[in-house]
Amino acid sequence: MLEATGISKVFGRLRAVDDVSAEVRQGEILGLIGPNGAGKSTFFNCLTGDLAPTTGSVRFLGEDITTRSPEARAELGLARTFQLPQTFTGMTVLENVMIGAFLRTSVTAEARERARRILDIVDMAHLAQTPAKTLGTPGRKRLEIARALATEPKLLLLDEAMAGLNPTEVRAAIDLVRVIHGMGITLVIVEHIMEVINSLADRVIVFHQGREIARGTPREVTGDPTVIEAYLGKRASRAGGRT
């Protein structure tokens, strides 16, 4: 569905992403994990069009989208959320979602209707007329997802959609991701929380210092000594190997 080939991104003298390739298959949930600064968010932004890769190419549904704008990618069915919620604070919750819905209709009443249906799905219907600026982090993260869903994506990329949530909220968010997956939407999730990856992802790609160091099922990669070393340092990995 989405193929990224040989992606590198260089900022000045820093190689934030170094020759990473990945393929997202129709219907799966792919996890991107790695310690802070590993390059997973940079890689993610190359997929969404917010950053242009220095080298490499991105294909989506058979089309080369490497140089396409974010709005053109949205049109093709690729949606994203932001790690720091980019809430439209001057609008109500419903209006925020309408912005996404306007991608598939130019009629305001129709966009409002579609946005209401999305708010039902994400369980925010009671907040429709609330000014979005009054939402806290959990509400804003959920609203990000609702807006993206309103664009009727085929592939949804979630950038740390659970960061900053408490365990109860994380469980609610996991349930929401399952619902979205059940709608037939393919997902890519960037995540710090291993619990989330373990319970959601079919496959995982592990980043470290801009490179891919492992890939496989969540169970396979969490047992991989290179991965443990990257997360916890050398000594921990040796200690882990002994027990």
Partner 1 sequence: MKKLLWPGITAVLLLAYPLVFTTPFQQRLGALVLLYAIAASAWNIVGGYAGQISVGHVVFFGCGAYASLALFTHTGLPPVLGMPLGIAAAVGIAAIIGTPTLRLSGHYFSMATIAVAELARLVTTNTEFLGAAVGLSGPTVPRTWLDLSFISSVPYYYLFLAVLVITLGITWWMERSRIGFYLRAIRDSEKAARSLGARAPRVKLIAYLLSAGLTSVAGSLYALMFQFVDPESGLGILISVKMLIMAALGGAGLLFGPLVGAAILVPLEEISNSLLGGRGAGLTFVLYGAIIVLIARFRPDGILGLFQSARKAPEKHDA
Q: What residues line the site for partner 1 (CB under 8 A)?
A: 48, 50, 69-71, 74-75, 79-80, 82, 86-91, 95, 98-100, 102-103, 106, 108, 111, 128-131, 147-148, 150-151
What is d(CA 76, CA 67) in angstroms, rounded to the nearest whole number? 14
In this complex, which beta carbon is closest to partner 1, that of residue 100 or of residue 218?
100
Least separation in angstroms between CB 99 and partner 1: 5
Rank residues 79 and 230 by Cβ distance to partner 1 and give the closer one: 79
**Nearest 10 degrees: Cα torsion 180, 183, 184, 189:** 0
Q: Say if residues 213 and 225 touch (Cβ distance below 8 Å).
A: no
> Counting beta carbons within 10 angstroms of the beta carbon of residue 185, is it exposed (0 to 12), middle (13 to 18) or buried (19 or more)?
buried
* φ, ψ dihedrals at 2, nearest 5°: -125, 125
Burial letters 198-220, b for 16+ CB under 10 A, else e: eebbebbbbbbebebbbeeebee
Shortest CB 209 distance to partner 1, Å: 27
How far apart are CB 216 and partner 1 at their closest, in Å?
Answer: 30
Least spacing, CB of residue 72 vs partner 1, in Å: 8
Question: Toward partner 1, which CB reaches closer, 23 or 95?
Answer: 95
Query: Which residue lies nearer to partner 1 by CB, 129 or 168?
Result: 129
Quote the least distance from Cβ 126 to partner 1, whole Å. 9
Q: How far is CA 181 from the centre of its chain?
A: 13
